[in-house]
């Protein structure tokens, strides 16, 4: 038996807009921009992807699951994402080496520092 991670599903007020934002943020590609779903992947046919589905209600609480991103240059990446519409947010993280941001719909994600070589 095998098990493959297919995608993360994000409930969204505007799946196409939020999906396009994440597509640009991650530098991925759109693989489905149908009327009901919007899906992105690192490359066509490369998993896992992110699938954006419509919901009527707005986000109300801190995410119970979030994405961590690890760039080569944390400061530059944080500024790029803020320039695209992300916002800094305090979710009670305290003094930590990562930066917590939200996407345009308020979903939290973290930008980590560069990986330390062993």
For the stretch 58-113, pLDDT in tens is 777 888 889 999 999 999 999 999 999 999 999 989 899 999 999 999 999 999 99
**The last residue of a domain, from among 43, 58, 73:** 58
Distance (Å, whole) CA 29 – CA 89 = 27
Total structural domains within the chain? 2
Instruction: Give the pLDDT of residue 64.
Output: 83
Rg (CA), the chain: 15
The reported pLDDT for the residue numbered 1 is 84
User: Model pTM?
Assistant: 0.90
12 and 66 in one domain? Answer: no
Query: Same domain for 41 and 92?
Result: no
Structural domain harbouring 48? 1-58
Task: Work out whether the CA dihedral 9, 10, 15, 21 comes out positive or negative.
Answer: negative
């Amino acid at each position: 038996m095998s098990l493959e991670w297919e995608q993360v599903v994000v409930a969204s007020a505007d799946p196409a807009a939020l999906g396009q934002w994440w597509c640009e943020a991650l530098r991925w590609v759109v693989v489905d921009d149908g009327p009901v779903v919007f899906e992105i992947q690192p490359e066509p046919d490369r998993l896992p992807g992110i699938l954006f589905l419509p919901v009527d209600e707005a986000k109300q609480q801190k995410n119970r699951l979030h994405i961590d991103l690890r760039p080569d240059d944390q400061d530059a990446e944080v500024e790029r994402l803020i320039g695209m519409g992300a916002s800094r947010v305090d979710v009670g993280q305290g003094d930590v080496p990562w930066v917590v941001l939200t996407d345009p719909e308020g979903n939290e994600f973290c930008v980590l520092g560069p990986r330390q070589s062993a």
